Structure 1
Amino acid sequence: MKNKILITYSVPKEGLTQLSSHFELIYPEKEFFTKEELIERIPDCLGLLSIFNREVDASIIKAGKNLKIISNYGVGFNNIDINAANNQGIVVCNTPDAVCEPTAELCMGLLLSLSRQIASCNNGLKTNSEFEWGVMKNLGSTLRGKTLGIIGMGKIGKSVAEKALVFGMNIAYHNRKPISEIRWKDAVYMNLSDLLEKSDAISLHCPLTPKTHHLLSEKEFLKMKKNSFLINTSRGAVVHEADLANALEEGTIAGAGLDVFENEPLIHPKLLQQKTALLVPHIGTATIETRIEMGREASENLILYLNNGIIKNRVN
């Protein structure tokens, strides 16, 4: 009899082929298992494949009497009660490789759309019969020669930097410590205050922790250039949403492209009213290829640990 893995959400089965050859998979018949259903099924399972937008709280973890590993389908892991997992000696892993490129692509897409007013022009043409054309109308700004300030120079931050360099941008970054790779010798390390003041666009790629919660709020927005853009494809609560809405309304900054929000799926009502806010519903990794690859990476975490004792992508 095979050991059991509990799959919390109906992710593409193509990504779980290898996992199903090693373990018995308990897979939801509907979109996802409810909390009560997880608690009922988890006692018999050695592994849990969780998903970034569904909470795995202490009560679920406590019910996992035989649970040895949680492999989170996503790079963020703030949906998991890490303290509860630590207390039970449970390994928690994520999928940082699969999510890198699609998130970086979306980041650049949001930046391009804001800087060249792509979304606003599209909306204007479709909804306003009197939308104005003209040589000096709908002027945006070019990216070449501008400075992109990256907060969190990990895998995704570096991928964004590589793409921005192709557009002729200069790279500044803020990290816990400067990175040492020779290939990034021309990227300028700055403290947060300097980065905010000198960048033409800010892109967030840091995890949500107590230190990064509301990392950017009114004080930080006031330091940014009036013609600057903010891009957030990391975690919503890194930004104080109400303060951002005020900054956009008052013209403190020129625009914001957001894939993530503080209280998803709810969005601050004032933010929804801002014409300079470009909003998408947490689609950073939303390609079918990525969803399948995330399943493969999450599966690999489970197989390596439960079969060979090898820990990959651990976050606790």
Structure 2
Amino acid sequence: MSKRILLSRPMPPGTIEAASALFDVEVRDSTRPMSAAELRAGLAVYDGMMVTLGDQVTAEVLQDFGRPRCKILANFGVGYNHIDTEACRSHGVTVTNTPGAVTDATADVAMTLILMTSRRAGEAERLVRAGQWEGWHPTQMLGQHVTGAKLGVIGMGRIGQAIARRCHYGFGMEVGYFNRSEKETEMPATRYETLEELAAWADIVVVATPASPETHHLVGRPVFKAMQPHARLINIARGDIVDETALIAALEAGEIGGVGLDVYEYEPEVPEALLIHENAVLLPHLGTACLEVREDMGAMAVENLRAFFAGEDCPNRVN
């Protein structure tokens, strides 16, 4: 009998087609995250689920189960901080993710935010659309020069290195980074021992570390206090790595030059205190929002499911 698989959101056509060729597939038609009740029902009814950002699989959701029918959660995405992997392991549920497929697209969005934030592009477009542009003049909307700037990367994994590569080879930037261990990189890069040292040195600070209990609010008041007044903070990782309250306070006090965010601490909620700042560039989690990339992510998730039910090692198991 074919395994029953639930796709927790509408997925790219190629993903649905690939999954349907192997399994008895049901696609949940809502774009909103699954509720706790829906997740409990899914764990009881399906053999596996393809879940994604916002589907909060917690120890509480799992507590009523010994070993649920659902034996695998194939996460559609590289980040899996919405899944309690230890609780899943203790209940016999395998968790996988989709690394690699998201690297270049996420790095590209980081570059978008670096350029938009430094050159005040969002603010400038709003000026034009509002019909308030009065023509070019020598001191019009002066921003920060990107070429030759100092880039500080927090988290020098696949995505962090992809951002550093673009910045160094494309814009001649010096690269510094903060990471638990020394990394071999193809471009010159200096490892800083503390976040504060990196923040004090950099013109642009990019958050690219995975979310975990250890990185919750990793970037907070001490980091903002150390940053230079012209420096920009970019976050393309996960929202709760940055202490949003401390970030807003730093913007209001003029302690940093601006911020570019693709993720938020309580997304999709974006604080009004961020929305009112002209030097904040705010995107709606566009990191992997390209059809080709989402199709690649789906292919990886389907392959994890196929391997699991074939009794093979999952290519991207995380617990």
Question: For the superposition of Structure 1 and Structure 2, which TM-score range results when normalised by the shorter chain?
Answer: over 0.9
Task: Tell me the distance in 2 between the aligned counterparts of 1:29 and 1:116.
Answer: 40
In structure 1, stretches of 5+ residues that fail to align are none
Task: Tell me the distance in 1 between the aligned counterparts of 2:38 and 2:241.
Answer: 31
1:7 positional shift: 1.3
Partner of 2:56: 55
Structure 1 letter corresponding to 2:9: Y
> Once the two structures are superposed, what CA deviation does each residue of 1:18-73 show, in whole Å capped at 9, x if it has no partner?
33222211222444655434433432432211011222233554556222221111
TM-score (norm 1): 0.93
Task: Check whether the contact 1:242–1:271 (CA below 8 A) recurs between aligned residues.
Answer: no
Q: Which of 162, 180, 188 is the equivalent residue of 1:176?
A: 180
Partner of 2:278: 275
Task: Check whether the contact 1:245–1:274 (CA below 8 A) recurs between aligned residues.
Answer: no
> Once the two structures are superposed, what CA deviation does each residue of 1:196-251 show, in whole Å capped at 9, x if it has no partner?
11011000111122221111112210101111100001011111111111111211
Task: Check whether the contact 1:245–1:270 (CA below 8 A) recurs between aligned residues.
Answer: yes
User: Identity rate of aligned residues, in percent?
Assistant: 34
Q: Please state whether the residue corresponding to 1:51 is helix, strand or coil.
A: coil
State which drifts further: 140-149 or 122-131: 122-131
Task: Check whether the contact 1:248–1:255 (CA below 8 A) recurs between aligned residues.
Answer: yes
Task: Tell me the distance in 1 between the aligned counterparts of 2:27 and 2:61.
Answer: 17
1:159 positional shift: 1.0
Structure 2 letter corresponding to 1:18: A
Q: Please state whether the residue corresponding to 2:165 is helix, strand or coil.
A: helix
Partner of 1:123: 126
Structure 1 letter corresponding to 2:205: I
Q: Please state whether the residue corresponding to 2:110 is helix, strand or coil.
A: helix
Task: Check whether the contact 2:9–2:29 (CA below 8 A) recurs between aligned residues.
Answer: no
Superposition pairs for residues 224-239 of structure 1, below 5 Å?
Answer: 224-239=227-242
Pick closer, same or farther for the CA change 1:308–1:131 going to 2, 3 Å: farther
RMSD: 1.9
Structure 2 letter corresponding to 1:14: G
Pick closer, same or farther for the CA change 1:132–1:247 going to 2, 3 Å: farther
TM-score (norm 2): 0.92
Pick closer, same or farther for the CA change 1:34–1:219 going to 2, 3 Å: closer
Task: Check whether the contact 1:101–1:156 (CA below 8 A) recurs between aligned residues.
Answer: yes
Q: Please state whether the residue corresponding to 1:5 is helix, strand or coil.
A: strand
In structure 2, stretches of 5+ residues that fail to align are none
Task: Tell me the distance in 1 between the aligned counterparts of 2:29 and 2:270.
Answer: 30
Q: Please state whether the residue corresponding to 1:176 is helix, strand or coil.
A: coil
